[in-house]
Amino acid sequence: MKGLKPSLLALCVAGAPPVAMAEIQMLDEASMGNITGQAGVTIELETKVNIDRFIYTDEGSLEVNDISVGGGNRTDYFAELGFNLTGGAPSDLLDNVRINIDIAQDGDAIINILPMAFGAVDLTVATGAWNLTSAVSADSTTILDNFRMDALIGSGTIRVDTATDKLNFQTDIAIDDMDFDVPFLALGIEDFQLTGANYDLQAPQPLDLFANVDMDIYKAPNNAGVDSLAIDLNTFEADIRVGGVIVGGTSIGSIAMDNLAITNTAMRIYGH
């Protein structure tokens, strides 16, 4: 990420002729407030996040260990398409991310998340054991382990609407591979894939690869009339394939769901 260095800026100012400098006038706050047509802010992101342990405590606790968020360090996502969908060299960083932030004339905040270069953004999330632990004894249960998800993100948009006080979130996502174990049920999931509902493995097309997610997040009353966190899933359509379902250490087969559609789904989340 490169910007205008202070030394270069100082050199440009120092090289300006005196006549030009004489025409430069300081703007007061009122004058600055009348300036319109700003281009917004762009952030170019490159990062990797590691968390040793995340703990949520109610009376007992849920512990999530060894959390990692970064890039997949691979170029063979959805190999049936026959080309590198990320458009760059493999990396374990979450990179190739450009975030554009704008405030519209009506006051809406708009955040667009896009690749900086041609290709999708690769995202890998991995964790170790998810443990339920007792606050009064040494009892614990591992409900999830060995989780890893390799996904591609085509784009994302967050918009806070001043007319409705709603946050709208949209993204295009495809999961190339997700694996995890559920030890207390002797269950495992291998080679989970999620794509757009029109994606055809026999004649794959890149434009059909991504599943679109559209949701609204806002404040709304629950059934008792108490303000709650409201999440409305407006649109989610996808194909899902599971390469292996493992029970007791043995595969019992695979699963496929074609044209899964979840619409008009509303949730209200609150404490009790």
Question: Digits of tens for pLDDT over the chain (272 positions)?
Answer: 444 333 333 333 334 444 444 444 545 555 545 555 567 999 999 999 999 999 999 999 999 999 999 999 999 999 999 999 998 899 999 999 999 999 999 999 999 999 998 889 999 999 999 999 999 999 999 999 999 999 999 999 999 999 999 999 999 999 999 999 999 999 999 999 999 999 999 999 999 999 999 999 999 999 999 999 999 999 999 999 999 999 999 999 999 999 999 988 999 999 99
The pLDDT of residue 217: 98
Rg (CA), the chain: 24
Q: Return d(Cα 41, Cα 39) in angstroms, integer.
A: 7
The per-residue pLDDT for 39 is 73
Strand partners of residue 132: 62, 141
Distance CA 78, CA 234 (A): 27
In this prediction, residue 28 carries a pLDDT of: 53
Contacts of 233 (CB under 8 A, 6+ apart): 213, 214, 215, 262, 263, 265, 266, 267
Q: Which two tokens stand for residue 165?
A: 């006080």
